[in-house]
Amino acid sequence: MIDRAFTVAALALAMLAPAARLAAQGPVLPTLRTALDATADVAEAAPEPAPEHDALAADMADGRTTRGFARHRILHFTFDDGPRAATTPRVLETLDAYGVRATFFVVGRQLEGARGEGARALVREMAARGHTVGTHTWDHANLTRLTEAQVESQLERSERAFEATLGGRPWLVRPPYGARDARVDALLARRGYTAMLWNLTSSDTVTRDPDVMVERFRAQLDRQERHPLGPGGIVLFHDTHEHTVEALPRILDEVRARNCALLEQPGEELWDLAGDPRLYFQARQGTAAATSVRLDAATLAARQTAVRAEAETYCR
């Protein structure tokens, strides 16, 4: 029954019309126009991914380990442990509604054989919608507790599952639990992986209450504004939890509400929900970790112009 549910959910996700999907969800916050208010907003916020989109991020191979610190108000959303039939399709729908692209770190074992048919369909759907997909190892093992051969097996088996699903191996990896050491880092580097960690969290593993998740996220952004490495970051979610599905649109609305306030302050940089993880990429140099991201003036200005134009639409 689980396998059938996976398949049905994936097919329904691909076939459901945008207007019907949004009608079933309704508004999230009454204080500003949200992406779930009207199908017209969805058409503007969720453009078709570019034909050259590489969901496996091959051009991010051989990068430094990053936690996502950035000197600007830039956030990138990431989701671990999926896909799950009951929740991942709804996460994808919410991201589409808000025009947000993310990175999904997939557990390879879920893509295996006939039982993984539905999961493979969902991963292909992630790629088709313009998201990036990385590996979360074969079966969510703590790599620091494994032998070298076992770590290699975790990566090789996951790569084979990705090749059967998307036609190639992944180049981004998130070690389960964020557990890594010098030995694991060296093994990942040997296979060309770029490890993407996080510096902000949705708190979805420490609470099942969406209200608490939103409050904690709000507090984190407040603290991050004062962080010496800058306000930006990579945010950790899990697309396998019902409470994450419920909290996600409210967290997105929190970012939008902050932008609406910042619009009233001339010269203030707005929060940029960056869909491309390449903004955080830095080529590997020995064992050095990534430094805090600083965009050049032209790139920052172009991105802020686009973010401001979008905010002027949803803040009306």
What end-to-end distance do the CA atoms of the chain give, in Å?
46
CB environment 128-141: b (16+ within 10 A), e (fewer): ebbbbbbbbbbebb
Q: How far apart are CA 146 and CA 5, in angstroms?
A: 33
DSSP 254-316: HHHHHHHHHHTSTTPPPPEE---GGGG--B--TTPPPPPB---HHHHHHHHHHHHHHHHHHT-
Active site (annotated) includes residue 238: yes
- CA 34-37-40 angle, to 5 degrees, is 105
> SS3 for 77?
strand
185 vs 65: CA distance, rounded Å: 8
Query: Catalytic site residue 204?
Result: no
Report the 10 Å Cβ neighbour count for 164.
13
Torsion sign, CA atoms 3, 243, 162, 166: positive
Residue 21 · residue 93 · CB < 8 Å: yes
Distance of CA 211 to the CA centre of its chain: 21
Catalytic residue among 131, 238, 241, 243: 238
Rounded to whole angstroms, the Cα distance separating 190 from 29 reads 47
CA distance 158 to 139: 9
Helices then strands, counting H and E runs in the chain, come out as: 10, 8
DSSP state of 63: B
Decide: 281 and 171 in contact? Cβ < 8 Å.
no
- In this structure, the strands spanning 74-80 and 233-238 are parallel
Residues taking part in catalysis: 80, 238
